[in-house]
Amino acid sequence: MPDRRQALALLSSTLLLPFAAHRPHAQESAREAEPRRGGTLTLVEVGEPTTLVPLTDSNTRTRNISTKVTEGLLRFDANFAPQPLLATAWSVSEDGLRYRFALRPDVRWHDGKPFTAADVRFSLLALKTIGPRGRITFANLVEVETPDPLTAILVLSKPTPYLLKALTAAESPIVPAHVYPSNAHPAESYGNSPNGSAPIGTGPYIVVEWVRGSHVALRRNPDYWQPGRPYLDRIVVRFVADTMAVSTALEAGEADVSYSVALPELERLRRHPRLAVTTASDDYLNNAQVLEFNLDRPVLARREVRRALASAIDRRIITGTIFNGHAEAAGSTIPAALKAYNDEAPFAIPFDPARANRLLDEAGLPRGPDGARFALRLTFLPGPTFRKTAEYLRAAFTRVGVKVEIADGDLATFIRRVYTERDFDFNLNGISRLFDPTVGVQRLYWSDGIKRPLPYLNAAHYDNPAVDDLFRQAATEVDEARRREIFRQIQVIVGADLPAVALVTIPTVAVQNARVQRLFNSIDLAAGDCSETWLVA
**pLDDT value, residue 186:** 58
pTM of the entire predicted model = 0.79
**pLDDT value, residue 148:** 98
Phi, psi of 11 (to 5 degrees): -65, 140
**pLDDT value, residue 56:** 79
Contact 60, 282 (CB under 8 A): no
- CB contact burial 46-73 (16+ within 10 A = b; e otherwise): bbbbbbbbbbbbbbbbbbbbbbbbbbbb
CA 153/CA 87 separation, integer angstroms: 11
Secondary structure of residue 525 in the 3-state scheme: helix
**pLDDT value, residue 135:** 84
**pLDDT value, residue 32:** 55
Contact 327, 281 (CB under 8 A): no
Q: How far apart are the first and last CA of the chain?
A: 33
Give, as one character, the DSSP assignment of residue 321: I
Contact 181, 193 (CB under 8 A): yes
**pLDDT value, residue 30:** 46
| Cβ neighbours of residue 25 closer than 8 Å, sequence gap 6 or more | none
Contact 387, 13 (CB under 8 A): no
DSSP E strand boundaries for 408-453 = 426-432
**pLDDT value, residue 114:** 98
**pLDDT value, residue 280:** 65
| Cβ neighbours of residue 355 closer than 8 Å, sequence gap 6 or more | 308, 311
CA 134/CA 139 separation, integer angstroms: 8
**pLDDT value, residue 192:** 67
Phi, psi of 219 (to 5 degrees): -125, 160
| ∠ CA 140-141-147, rounded to 5° | 150
| Cβ neighbours of residue 529 closer than 8 Å, sequence gap 6 or more | 67, 68, 71, 169, 203, 204, 205, 230, 521, 522
Checking phi first, is residue 244 left (phi over 0); if not, alpha (psi -120 to 50) or beta? alpha
**pLDDT < 50 stretches in the chain:** 1-31
CA 368/CA 375 separation, integer angstroms: 11
Amino acid at 409: G
CA 331/CA 254 separation, integer angstroms: 40
CA 268/CA 54 separation, integer angstroms: 35
**pLDDT value, residue 454:** 86
**pLDDT value, residue 28:** 39
**pLDDT value, residue 29:** 42
